[in-house]
Structure 1
Amino acid sequence: MFTAIFGSVEQGIIYAIMALGVYLTFRVLDFPDLTVDGSFVTGAATAATMILLGYHPILATLVAIVAGFIAGCMTGILHTKGKINPLLSGILMMIALYSINLRIMGLTAENTIGRPNIPLLNSETIFSQFQGFWSNLGIDAALNNVLNSIGIQRVPGTWGTLMVVLLITILIKFIADWFLKTEVGLAIRATGDNKRMIRSFSANTDTLIILGLGLSNALVAFSGALIAQYSKFADNGMGIGMIVIGLASVIIGEAIFGTKTIMRTTLAVIAGAIIYRIVLALALRVDFLDTGDMKLITAVIVIMALIIPQFANKNKERKRKAKRAQSVIIAKQGGSDLA
């Protein structure tokens, strides 16, 4: 049980980067971007291909981020310059990326037009390098001994991986918080809230939308690159339903932790991604469910995350009205007594 939850936390922290990208488009920019399903694979395919061709994992990850940024910008250009519906522009880019990703992964084989997957079983990744450094410090053994002392015998032994993804995600969270408070970030937020108003201040909303979509998909591609290195493979189908996972993380986090400030909201999105992965892992341990039911479980989690807060708000509103009516009755009774 502990090993499954530990792995879910690791994956949840990586997927949180993707969820932050989804948050930028759906919540901040108010743009229903479906490019995510394609740009996630673009990041994974680019990083895996470059690693297999002998490039350093960090360089491969940086190039994957640039590839995701370009994909997001293309979606923005289709919408702003091509005057295509936001939803349709994302779908078109997602479809185009399916073939582009095959081409990218096909670069690792001679005379191959497209390749559906790339294994990285014997390749160096960011995690393998950091894990070696972490193990040399003796911290892995120390942490595992602490767990053994409290009765947890089966330990994953991947503390280095957990620490590196945690540090990366926290760093991105603070960068996102800072960026959204800058002049450009505030302009992007204003564009999502009221495009006409920001245009009245002579702001170029087209450029802001393109930039916002580019940054969003850069984060998504970054997450895809890390997932490919974490799971030791990249597959052209690994991005299917990724937008739903991102939305689930955002909705769960916002429902539990609230959205009063930007810092609180980004933290809520990260926590939502981790909670989603843990719930999914626990659900799959139920006897009558298997891995083929993951999409169904995801749909149920999203539905519950959407419906439960509505019932909670209605219940709070009902209690508030009852309390207000009671105070009015008491006030009237007090007035009649004085009369």
Structure 2
Amino acid sequence: MIEGIFVEGLIYSIMALGVFFTFRILDFPDLTVDGSFPMGAVIMAACLHGGIHPLTGLLLSFCGGLTAGAVTAAIHNKLKVPHLLAGILTMTMLYSVNIRILSNRANLPLLRVETLLTRVHDYTREFIPPEYASLLFFILVVFIIKKLLDLFFITDMGLVFGALGNNEQMVRVQGINPATLKLIGVGLSNGLVALSGAFAAQYQGFADINLGQGIVVTGLASVMLGEFLLKSNKISVLTLRVILGTILFKAIMYLGRYYGYYINMTPNDLKLIAGILIILSLGATNFKGIKKGSRS
């Protein structure tokens, strides 16, 4: 039970890191996430059923999400469409694209297909139980992704991304094209989201075009919960708290799913809980800002 919460939290933390990139670093509200997450899942499922190596499937899933994010940024840049509308347009189109990838099917099971996780379980079967093997595997995966992001954000390009989110005009003055940065940034963000979807499909044993329904809310709630756990401006701490916030969010959802019946709560109410968490987080943030302002 506990290891399942941690595994799901780690898988979805990859998605939350992508959401963190667009919402907190780029200041680019992006709803493409609801389409790129299932896109990663369906690409991975199609690759596995086609006999393609799981690592190649992960790479293709990442590239699919990268392309989806780039399309959103291109619509925003070239057609001057607002962030949210550009994301909604891409998300809507991805629904049809995802069905096409699954050969006009809504879902595809992976129970009898060799996945990356089944290979990990086969290699570690003599040493540790499968559930703990999955946990250790995703700890390693998330650690690598976090380290790569930490290193990326301290490069010149990473620092420019931070400047873009704070002051786009300043970036223009430096002779850098913000449109190009948004194309790269939103693309990388959705690449991470699609990668998370690919891992989620393998862990859950199926890919479904509705996997991404409301996933952006999960990402936002995870980011905001993490902000209450740790306070720092260091990028290594910022990425760590996103991961911890996702695990905490999954734990809260677990409690709501398995113990909510005491207050007549059903699984259908989980989206309500996620929304309330975001509202409470926003309210607490605003309250802290007002409190600090009154002290000064």
1:59 and 2:49 matched:
no
- Which runs of 5 or more residues in structure 2 are unaligned? none
Contact 1:255–1:309 (Cα < 8 Å) also in 2:
no
- Match of residue 103 from structure 1: 100
For the 8 Å contact 1:65–1:219, the answer to whether it is kept is: yes
Partner of 1:242: 215
Identify the match of residue 158 of structure 1 among 110, 131, 155. Answer: 131
Asked if 1:201 is matched to 2:174, the reply is yes
Worse-matched range after superposition: 229-238 or 302-311: 302-311
TM-score by length of 1: 0.83
Asked if 1:87 corresponds to 2:76, the answer is no
Distance 2:92 2:65 in 1: 15
3-state SS, counterpart of residue 142 of structure 2: helix
Please tell me the root mean square deviation across aligned C-alpha atoms, in Å: 1.6
Q: Aligned residue for 1:119?
A: 109
Match of 1:292 in 2: 268
Alignment partner, residue 22 of structure 1: 19
Aligned to 1:49: 46
- Residue in 2 that maps onto 1:306: 282
Q: Partners in 2 of 1:181 and 1:36 — Cα distance?
A: 25
1:325 equivalent in structure 2: none
In the alignment of these two chains, the number of paired residues is: 293
* Counterpart Cα distance in 1 of 2:173 and 2:206: 48
C-alpha distance in structure 1 between counterparts of 2:290 and 2:175, whole Å: 41
Q: Which moved more, 1:233-242 or 1:295-304?
A: 295-304
d(CA) in 1 for partners of 2:293 and 2:179?
A: 40
Kindly provide the amino acid, as one letter, of the partner of residue 202 in structure 2: Q
Deviations 1:198-228 (A, max 9, x none): 1111111111110000100000000000000
TM-score (norm 2): 0.95
Larger Rg over CA atoms: 1
Distance 1:282 1:216 in 2: 29
One of 152, 167, 173 as aligned partner of 2:140 = 167
**Alpha-carbon distance between aligned partners in 2 of 1:91 and 1:52, rounded to the nearest angstrom:** 30
8 Å CA contact retained: 2:3, 2:132? no
Letter in 1 for 2:122: G
The 2-side partners of 1:281 and 1:309 are apart by 25
Give identity over the alignment, percent: 41
Choose which of 128, 142, 158 in structure 2 pairs with 1:139: 128
- 1:310 to 1:195, Cα distance in 2 relative to 1, 3 A: closer
Partner residue of 2:9? Answer: 12
What secondary structure is seen at the aligned counterpart in 1 of 2:184?
helix
Per mean C-alpha deviation after superposition, the further-off stretch among 263-272 and 78-87 is 78-87
